Structure 1
Amino acid sequence: MFQRNVEYRNNLRGILYTNLILSRDKKLVTEAGSLLSTSNLGQSNAVVYELEELIEASGQGAGVLTSHGVDPYILDFSAILSFALNCTASPSYTLTDRLLGEQRGISTHSTPKQVVKRVFDKDVYCNDKDEEHLLKLIKHLIGLKRHTYLGVMSSIRTYVTGMQRIADDFELAYTLLVASIESLAQNFDGHKASWLDYDQRKRRLIDSALSDADEAVSEKVRSTLLDIEHTSLSRRFRDFSLENISPSYFREETENVLNPISKNDLPKALSNAYQARSQYIHNLRKLPDQLTTTNSHTETCRINKKTWLTIQGLSRLARHVITDFIMRQPNVEKEIYDYSLERAGVLQMPMAPQYWVGRPSLYQGAGSMKLEGFLSQLSNLMTTDPKAVVTDLTELLTAVEEKVNELKKGDKLSFIALYIIFNGFVSQSQRMENSDSFITVYEKQLSSPSAEALIVNLLFNKVPGWDIKIHYDCLINYFKERDNKLKFRCPKLFEAGMILQLAERYRSSGDYHSAIEMVEMAVESYPEHTLLRQFEINFKLDDHVIDWFEILVPKEEQSD
C-alpha cells in the first residue's frame, strides 16, 4: 500500500507466552515476523517475536510517525498464532498462566482444557505440518485486499477472545465463536435480501395491510423495509458457513475427533448454534448442559432429537470456516489505499470549533453546525474559562448577509440566530456594519416557536410571546430532535437555562407544581452542576424567583 519510499526501518522484538513448543535450534520465519525459543535450559513457555517494521515517508512536521512499537504487531501475531495452530499465545504472562493452569472458572467450574482439547494443554508441539500451515496461512493473509484483511483479522480476534472466555463464561464463549463467523457472513456473503427473507410473521401482517394498495406502492414499502431491517441473519450465518466448508472438514480433519458432525446434520446444528447465540444476547439464557460437558471432548450431542455442536465442535468449525474463507480470497501485490487513520494509536477526533466555525462556507447543514459550535464557545467562556476567546464570525456572517434568502429554511433560521447572538455579544465597536438593519428585517422569523428562538430568547433574557403550553411543547420538541441531522444541540448550560426560563414562567403564573417539575428536569439535564442541585432543594422549601443565569453561572465567575 506504500505510495512513497520507506523512511524508517525498525527492528522490533517482544515476548510471547505460549504453550507452543518450538524447535530450540530453529527460527520460525513467517511473512509477519519470526519466532524463536528463548535460551533456557529448563522448560519455558516464553518465545521471542521479532520483525522489521517499515514506515512510509510522510514528510516533515506534525503527524510524522517513526514507529508504532512492537505492541500492536505482537497482539495481532499472537491472535494469528493461537488461531492457526490451535494453541494459546499472548504477550500477557498472567493471561497465559491462568488459561493453562488448573484454576476452575467461577461460573464454569471447569478448567479450559477440560472443555476443548489441545488449545489449553500444557505443551503443544509444533511439527513440520503445523509450520507449513502457519506459513501458508500468514502469507495468504498478508496478501489480502485491505478491506478483506481487516474483516478477517476482526474475525480471528473474536474467535481467539471467545476461546479465552472458555475459562470463565461458556455462554459468552459460545456467542463469540458464532460471532466470529457471523461477522464475515455480514460483510462478505454478498447477500441481497428478498421479501421472502423477511420475518414470516411480520411479512404476513404487512402483506395483509398492503393487499388493497397499488402494486408499485407495495413494492416500494417492501423495498424500504428490507433496506432498514436486517433480514434472515440466521440463514445468512448458516449459508455462509456451509459455503466455506471444504471436503477435508469431513475427512482428514476428523482424525482423532470424537463424534464429528455429519454433513446432513450440519445445517440444523448451525441454526441451533445461532439460536443459542441469540437467546444468550437477548435473554442471558444458559447453554444446555450437554454443550459444555467436561468429561469428554465430543463435538456433537443430541438434545430433544436435535443435533447440536458443543464448544469443542463449534471451535473446530469456526477455525475451518474462517481459514477456508481466507484461502479462497484473491491476493494482490499492490493496492492504492489510504491506511493512515488505521495505524495503531491514531485516533480521529472532531476539530474544536475555533478551527472551522468562522469559515464562510454555507453548505446544507452549516447553519446548525456553526450555531452549535459557537454556542459551545460561549458556554466555555461563561463557565469554564473567563479568558477564553470566541471566534470572530464577521467573514462568515457577511456571506450570510449576501445569501440569506438563498438558504434552506433550517439553515436560514440557524444563521439568523447565529447572526443575532454574535452581534449581541460583541462590543459595540465590533458589531457588523449592517447588523441593525439585518436584525430588524430578519429577527421576526424567530417570533414563531423553534429551537433557534428558544436559545436567542434565553441569551437575551426575553420571555417568548407564545402561550405557555406552546413554549413547553417547543422545548420538549427541541430535546426530541436535537440529535437529528441538520439540527443543533446546545451545551448543557443553555439547555438547563431554557428549562429554568420556562420554570419561571410557570412559577410567575402561579403553577408551582409545573415549576418544580421543570426545575427537576433542569437538574436531570445538568446533573453535574452542584449549585443547580442545591437550588432544587431550596426551591422546594421556599418559592422564589428563578434566574437561570444567577443559578448556573456563579457570581465569582461572573465578576471575572
Structure 2
Amino acid sequence: MLQIITEKFFPPGERYETLHRAILYTNYRVMRGEKIITPIGYLLPSTGLHSLATLTCEMLEKQEKYPDGPKLGVFVATTGDDLLNDFAAVISFFLNVTCTPDPDLTRRLLLAERPSLGIEAVPSRFIRRMFDKDVHARDGEAAALTAFIKQLIGLERETFVGAMRAIRQFVIGSHRLADDLNLAYTLFVTSIESLAQGFDGHVAEWSDYDPRKRKKIDGALKDASDEVAAGVRDAILSNEHVALARRFRDFAMAHVAPSFFRVEAAGAQGPISGPDLPIALQQAYSIRSSYVHLLRDVPRQLTISGFPEATEVDDRKTLSFAGLSRLSRHIIMQFIARGRIVEREAFDYRRELPGIVTVKLSPEYWVASTGGFDHKTAPVRLAAFLEQITAAVLQHQKDAKLTDLGPILTMVEHSVSGLRKPSQRLPMLTLYFLFHQFAGPEFSCKQWPALFEKHKADFDAPTVESFVAHLITGNRVEWTLEQLEELHKTYFKTRHTASVTKIGLLLEAALSLYVAEVNRLAGNNARARALVAFAVDSHPGHAALRTYEASLPAELAEINWTGILLPPRPSSEGPSADPVPAA
C-alpha cells in the first residue's frame, strides 16, 4: 500500500483523497514543534501516554477516481490500517526503535520488568536501542528517514514487495524477543533468507545437489549417453531447492558493505569479524533449520542477556541476537539501497489492495459463458454443471436451478466432431448429454440427439465422465469389477490435476459406494466395507453417510447409494429442474 498511494501505478487523471490519522506509540522522542515530512506521510510529536512517547501520523491515501463518479462497487479508499501498520514497521526498522499503533504491545515491549515464561530477560537486554525506554531523536535522522522511504517506494514493484516482506519479518522477529527467543532468531534469519531465495539470481548446478543423492543418481546414469544424463540432472535440479544454506550465506556476504565493519561497528560490543562471518552465517542457518524442522531451542549460550554480537558455540563463532539483528538490518538496508528506481510502472495494483480476495463465483455466473470455452476448459464447465445437478436434481435444494447451456452447447455442436480423441470429446459430450436429460424440449439444441448418437461409443470405456452420465441418469454400467476399481483408483489419484473432471463430494462418495456394492455382489465384503469407509473419509460432512457406516450389519445388505446419500424425493415434485437463462 505504501507504493500504491504514491500514484506510481495510476494513469493520469483525478484522484480520491482520504486523510488517515492515527497515534503511533513508541520510545522515540522528538522535540516538540518538529514535523517529520516523508513521501508517504507526516509525523508530529504529541503528548505522551503513561511513559510512552507518541507520534501523530497523518497519511494521505490517493486512489484513482472513476469518470462516472462514486457509485456502488467503486473503490474510494481503504480503512488505512495496512498503511499505518506498514508505515510504523518502516519507522521501527530504519530508526531501530519500537513503533506500533498498539499501546499495549508497545508497553509490554518497553516497560515490562519481568521476562515472559521461559525467557531469562526482557527484550531490552538482548538488543540495544530498539527497546530502550527512551530514545531521543538525533540530528539528521529525520532527513535520513525521508531519504530511505523515498528510495524504498521508488523501487521496482517486485523488489519493493520483497523488501517490505523482509522489513516486516525483522520487526516481528524483534517483537518476539518478548516471548519466544527461538522464533525471534528464526525470523531474523528468514528476513535475509526471503531475499536470498527471491533475488539472488542463483542457477543451481549439479555440484549443489545433495552429495549422497547425487552419488546414487550418477551411478544409475553411468551407462546413459551424455545427453540423456544431462537431461535427467537438469530435470532433477528444476524440481529441487538445492544449496539453500549456501545461497543464504552467499547472498548475505554479497550484501555486507565495508561500513558494517567500520562506522556501524562503532559502539558494538564484540562485533563479528569479516573472516568469522561466513561461519557465523552457516551457524545461524543451521539454528534456524533445527528449530523449523525439529523445534530445537537456540543454543543456551545465546539466551544469556547482554550485547556481545558473537559467542562460541561448539568452537564455532555464532551470532547473538544483538549481532544477528544488526546484520539482518544492514543486509536489508543494502538490498534496498542497491535496488533499481523506476518512476512509473505498469502493475495491476487493485489485486494488492487490502480486503481484495479472489474467489470462485457461483457456476450460474460463468458456466455458460462462451469466453475461453474449448475442449481444454470443458472439464471445468462440466464440474460446475455437475455441481448444479447435484444441488437441483439430486439433493432438491430450494431455489437451486440449472443454467441454460445453450451458448456453449452450440459451440460443442460445431467443434466436437473435429476432435480426434474420445478423451477430448467426452467432457463436452457429457455436458451435452446431461443438459438434454434435464432440460425441457424447448431447450434442445439443433443436433440433439443425432450428435450424441454419433459419438455414443465414447461412453463405453470406463471414464469418470461416462460413469457420472450413467449414474445420474440411472443407467447401469457394463464394466468389470477390475475396471471399476481401476477407475476409482485413478480418479482419486489424479482428481486435482487440471485435465480431470472433478465430480464433487457427493458424486465421489457415490462412486465409492457403487464400487462397494459391486464388490459385495462379488463376495468381497471386506473390500466393500473398506470402500464405505473411504466414502465417509471423502465426504465427512454427510451425516446420513456417517450414520450408515456406523450401523453396518455383520451381513452386508445392498449398498444403495441413492438411499444413503440422497434425501427422499418430494411426492409433489414437478419437473426435476428448470434451466435458468445463462448469466
Question: What is the TM-score when the length of structure 2 is the normalising length?
Answer: 0.91
On the 8 A contact 1:464/1:471 being kept in 2, the answer is no
Query: Aligned AA for 1:400?
Result: V
TM-superposed deviation, 1:68: 0.9
1:24-82 deviation per Cα after TM superposition (whole angstroms, max 9, x unaligned): 22111111211112235974433211011111223445542111122111010111111
* Map of 1:319 onto structure 2: 329
1:226-265 deviation per Cα after TM superposition (whole angstroms, max 9, x unaligned): 2111121111111111111111100111122111100001
* Map of 2:397 onto structure 1: 385
Task: Say if 2:340 is the partner of 1:330.
Answer: yes
On the 8 A contact 1:34/1:49 being kept in 2, the answer is yes
* Map of 2:272 onto structure 1: 261
Query: Aligned AA for 1:399?
Result: M
User: Quick one: structure 1 residues 503 and 428, their matched pair in 2 at CA, closer, same or farther if it must change by over 3 Å?
Assistant: farther
- Greater mean deviation of Cα atoms: 521-530 or 57-66: 57-66
Match 1:38 to one of 34, 40, 46? 46
1:194-229 deviation per Cα after TM superposition (whole angstroms, max 9, x unaligned): 222222222222222211111111111111112111
Query: Aligned AA for 2:411?
Result: A
On the 8 A contact 1:112/1:167 being kept in 2, the answer is yes
Task: Say if 2:57 is the partner of 1:57.
Answer: no
- Greater mean deviation of Cα atoms: 239-248 or 404-413: 404-413
Query: Aligned AA for 2:410?
Result: T
Query: Aligned AA for 1:328?
Result: R
1:95-127 deviation per Cα after TM superposition (whole angstroms, max 9, x unaligned): 222222224222324322222222122212221
Match 1:345 to one of 348, 355, 358? 355
> How far apart are the structure 1 equivalents of 2:218 and 2:429?
47
> How far apart are the structure 2 equivalents of 1:433 and 1:286?
71
On the 8 A contact 2:47/2:54 being kept in 1, the answer is no
Structure 1 residues 126-525: aligned runs within 5 Å: 126-294=137-305, 296-360=306-370, 361-363=372-374, 365-381=376-392, 382-383=394-395, 385-407=397-419, 409-525=422-538
> How far apart are the structure 1 equivalents of 2:492 and 2:479?
18
> How far apart are the structure 2 equivalents of 1:558 and 1:236?
69
User: Quick one: structure 1 residues 162 and 392, their matched pair in 2 at CA, closer, same or farther if it must change by over 3 Å?
Assistant: same
User: Quick one: structure 1 residues 108 and 364, their matched pair in 2 at CA, closer, same or farther if it must change by over 3 Å?
Assistant: farther
User: Quick one: structure 1 residues 41 and 392, their matched pair in 2 at CA, closer, same or farther if it must change by over 3 Å?
Assistant: closer
On the 8 A contact 2:422/2:458 being kept in 1, the answer is no
> How far apart are the structure 1 equivalents of 2:109 and 2:166?
21
- Greater mean deviation of Cα atoms: 62-71 or 297-306: 62-71
User: Quick one: structure 1 residues 554 and 109, their matched pair in 2 at CA, closer, same or farther if it must change by over 3 Å?
Assistant: farther
> How far apart are the structure 1 equivalents of 2:438 and 2:532?
27
1:380-401 deviation per Cα after TM superposition (whole angstroms, max 9, x unaligned): 3243733222211122122212
* Map of 1:20 onto structure 2: 28
User: Quick one: structure 1 residues 242 and 557, their matched pair in 2 at CA, closer, same or farther if it must change by over 3 Å?
Assistant: farther
> How far apart are the structure 2 equivalents of 1:168 and 1:215?
55
> How far apart are the structure 1 equivalents of 2:572 and 2:267?
81
> How far apart are the structure 2 equivalents of 1:380 and 1:59?
41
On the 8 A contact 1:3/1:336 being kept in 2, the answer is no
On the 8 A contact 1:99/1:167 being kept in 2, the answer is yes
Query: Aligned AA for 1:340?
Result: R
* Map of 2:83 onto structure 1: 73
| Secondary structure of the corresponding residue to residue 47 of structure 1 | strand
> How far apart are the structure 2 equivalents of 1:125 and 1:458?
76
TM-superposed deviation, 1:409: 4.6
1:327-362 deviation per Cα after TM superposition (whole angstroms, max 9, x unaligned): 111222222222121112212222332222112344
> How far apart are the structure 1 equivalents of 2:233 and 2:101?
50
- Gaps (5+ residues) in structure 2? 1-8, 574-583
Task: Say if 2:55 is the partner of 1:47.
Answer: yes
1:394-445 deviation per Cα after TM superposition (whole angstroms, max 9, x unaligned): 2212221221133355331211222222111223443334322222222321
User: Quick one: structure 1 residues 365 and 59, their matched pair in 2 at CA, closer, same or farther if it must change by over 3 Å?
Assistant: farther
> How far apart are the structure 2 equivalents of 1:514 and 1:348?
42
> How far apart are the structure 2 equivalents of 1:78 and 1:171?
24
TM-superposed deviation, 1:556: 6.5
On the 8 A contact 1:471/1:502 being kept in 2, the answer is yes
On the 8 A contact 2:512/2:534 being kept in 1, the answer is yes
User: Quick one: structure 1 residues 178 and 409, their matched pair in 2 at CA, closer, same or farther if it must change by over 3 Å?
Assistant: farther
Question: What is the TM-score when the length of structure 1 is the normalising length?
Answer: 0.95
* Map of 1:102 onto structure 2: 113
> How far apart are the structure 1 equivalents of 2:331 and 2:65?
38
| Secondary structure of the corresponding residue to residue 412 of structure 1 | helix
Query: Aligned AA for 2:21?
Result: R
* Map of 1:526 onto structure 2: 539
User: Quick one: structure 1 residues 308 and 240, their matched pair in 2 at CA, closer, same or farther if it must change by over 3 Å?
Assistant: same
User: Quick one: structure 1 residues 424 and 150, their matched pair in 2 at CA, closer, same or farther if it must change by over 3 Å?
Assistant: same
| Secondary structure of the corresponding residue to residue 293 of structure 2 | helix
Query: Aligned AA for 1:301?
Result: T
Query: Aligned AA for 2:412?
Result: V
On the 8 A contact 1:38/1:44 being kept in 2, the answer is no
Query: Aligned AA for 2:123?
Result: P
- Gaps (5+ residues) in structure 1? none
User: Quick one: structure 1 residues 559 and 534, their matched pair in 2 at CA, closer, same or farther if it must change by over 3 Å?
Assistant: farther
On the 8 A contact 1:454/1:475 being kept in 2, the answer is no
TM-superposed deviation, 1:320: 0.1
RMSD: 2.0
Query: Aligned AA for 1:3?
Result: P
On the 8 A contact 1:368/1:411 being kept in 2, the answer is no
On the 8 A contact 1:367/1:410 being kept in 2, the answer is no
| Secondary structure of the corresponding residue to residue 539 of structure 1 | coil
Task: Say if 2:551 is the partner of 1:538.
Answer: yes
User: Quick one: structure 1 residues 280 and 518, their matched pair in 2 at CA, closer, same or farther if it must change by over 3 Å?
Assistant: same
User: Quick one: structure 1 residues 499 and 223, their matched pair in 2 at CA, closer, same or farther if it must change by over 3 Å?
Assistant: same
> How far apart are the structure 2 equivalents of 1:191 and 1:558?
68
- Greater mean deviation of Cα atoms: 474-483 or 430-439: 430-439
User: Quick one: structure 1 residues 260 and 288, their matched pair in 2 at CA, closer, same or farther if it must change by over 3 Å?
Assistant: same
Query: Aligned AA for 2:46?
Result: T
* Map of 1:123 onto structure 2: 134
| Secondary structure of the corresponding residue to residue 329 of structure 2 | helix
> How far apart are the structure 1 equivalents of 2:375 and 2:440?
30
User: Quick one: structure 1 residues 84 and 558, their matched pair in 2 at CA, closer, same or farther if it must change by over 3 Å?
Assistant: farther
* Map of 2:124 onto structure 1: 113
TM-superposed deviation, 1:557: 6.6
User: Quick one: structure 1 residues 490 and 431, their matched pair in 2 at CA, closer, same or farther if it must change by over 3 Å?
Assistant: same
| Secondary structure of the corresponding residue to residue 402 of structure 2 | coil
Query: Aligned AA for 1:48?
Result: T
| Secondary structure of the corresponding residue to residue 80 of structure 1 | helix
| Secondary structure of the corresponding residue to residue 55 of structure 1 | strand
TM-superposed deviation, 1:537: 1.8
